[in-house]
Amino acid sequence: MKALLLCLLLGVPGLARGQESPVLSQDDILREFFWDRFQQLPRTERPRLALVLSGGGARALAHVGVLEALVRQGFDFDIVAGTSMGSMVGALYASGMSPSEIRDLTPKMNLAQRKIMTPTTMFGLMFAGSLISSDPIQEFVTKVLGNKRFDQLKRPFGCVATDLRTGEKIVFREGEVAPAVRSSMNLPGLLAPMEYRHRLLVDGGVVDYVPVDVAQMLGAQWILSSLTEGEITRQEIDNVFLTLQQVIDIRGSLLAQNLLRQSDIVVKPAAGHIGTFDFEKADEAIRLGVIAGRLAAPKAKEDLALKTLPAVLKAWQAR
């Protein structure tokens, strides 16, 4: 009501839109012009665009929506990096799958459906202290991608895990994709750490929630990060899962701040209310991702226009 009254008092800025057909602003027209010019540039003249996807469990499925909106706008990323659920979405995109193909797979990313969080495994966790196996994650990735190695993906891809013994960040850029994604998603306290090449690996989100640095390692020259932070102000934290979720979210928020400064554009889907394990809200997360991606696209295009202006003007004059 307040917002409406404010709009009314301020002279109704929305009157130009609504059911009226949109009238493009001068910035809209110029953005379109430069986006056309950017796309006409030879690949060698364009910066290498990277997409970096944060962790966040079910909430991070919003990345699928972000990707969908950006791809529709004509974005084509050269490099992909991800942590935890971001590594899953990122690996699928890097393999050449379209966002809509990834969207179709999201119901199968549900931990319950993957037989990870079932009454039996939860009973074992609560009463016998036995952590749950993350084998089904690896099986899922293998089923979708086959036994693909990183160098067989269509786009350079990297993901991160944490060595529980040393606290080191482990960056995967080579070898088989499926175990790398599995270890990147290996939620500590819930899923059993994974023994891999003499390392004991858990979720990469413990040390790197938004792996901007991995994208840089892979040669990124322009980085768009999608961050799905959780809302860390909660009234009730009354069970082990909410406690675990809260610890992960707080840690993620803290880790994200520094790394995000190295991103050219940060997209933040308003999915903070969706919990790490709320896989039944996957559709909502994706929808919020689409909205965020669509809103971020103009700014991203403007940023690229400014950064490639010398090359664009040079090409323009050479015509």
Residues noted as catalytic: 84, 203
Whichever of 200 and 291 has its CB closer to other proteins, that residue is: 291
**Min. distance of Cβ 305 from other proteins in angstroms?**
7
**Min. distance of Cβ 21 from other proteins in angstroms?**
4
Residue 53 has φ and ψ, to the nearest 5°, of -115, 125
Whichever of 122 and 291 has its CB closer to other proteins, that residue is: 291
257: amino acid identity, one letter: Q
Closest CA to 85 of 186, 218, 212: 186
Residue of 135, 139, 231, 302 interacting with other proteins (CB under 8 A):
302
Owner of token pair 């990345």: 63
- Give the bridge partners for 81, in sequence order: 52, 158
Q: For residue 299, give Cα distances in angstroms to 7, 97, 267, 294.
A: 24, 25, 10, 10
| Distance in angstroms (rounded) separating the CA atoms of residues 7 and 90 | 40
Whichever of 12 and 240 has its CB closer to other proteins, that residue is: 12
**Min. distance of Cβ 145 from other proteins in angstroms?**
24
| # binding residues, other proteins (CB under 8 A) | 45
Considering only residues 15 to 44 of the shown chain, the ones binding other proteins according to CB under 8 A are 15, 17-19, 21-34, 36-37
Residue of 61, 62, 64, 69 interacting with other proteins (CB under 8 A):
69
**Min. distance of Cβ 297 from other proteins in angstroms?**
9
Residue of 12, 240, 250, 254 interacting with other proteins (CB under 8 A):
12
37: amino acid identity, one letter: R
Of 222-230, 240-248, 271-279, 283-291, the segment contacting other proteins by CB under 8 A is 283-291
Closest CA to 179 of 218, 217, 215, 150: 150
The answer to whether 289 and 68 are in contact (CB under 8 A) is yes
Whichever of 29 and 250 has its CB closer to other proteins, that residue is: 29
Interior angle at CA 107, CA 105 and CA 112, nearest 5:
130
Residue 141 CB contacts under 8 Å (≥ 6 apart), including other chains: 88, 91, 177, 178, 181, 182
| Distance in angstroms (rounded) separating the CA atoms of residues 87 and 192 | 18
For residue 193, what is the DSSP state? P
Whichever of 112 and 309 has its CB closer to other proteins, that residue is: 309
String of contacts with other proteins for each residue 142-181, x by CB under 8 A: ----------------------------------------
Residue of 116, 159, 290, 300 interacting with other proteins (CB under 8 A):
290
128: contact with other proteins by CB under 8 A = no
Angle between helices 85-94 and 135-145 (to 10 degrees): 10
29: amino acid identity, one letter: I
- Give the bridge partners for 268, in sequence order: none
Of 9-17, 176-184, 195-203, 249-257, the segment contacting other proteins by CB under 8 A is 9-17
**Min. distance of Cβ 13 from other proteins in angstroms?**
6
Whichever of 211 and 289 has its CB closer to other proteins, that residue is: 289
Q: What burial class does residue 217 get, using C-beta atoms within 10 Å of its C-beta: 0-12 exposed, 13-18 middle, 19+ buried? A: middle
Whichever of 45 and 139 has its CB closer to other proteins, that residue is: 45
Closest CA to 53 of 289, 237, 309: 289
Question: Which stretches of the chain bind other proteins, using CB under 8 A?
Answer: 3-5, 7-8, 12-15, 17-19, 21-34, 36-37, 69, 72, 287, 290-291, 293-294, 302, 305-306, 309-310, 313-314, 316-317, 319
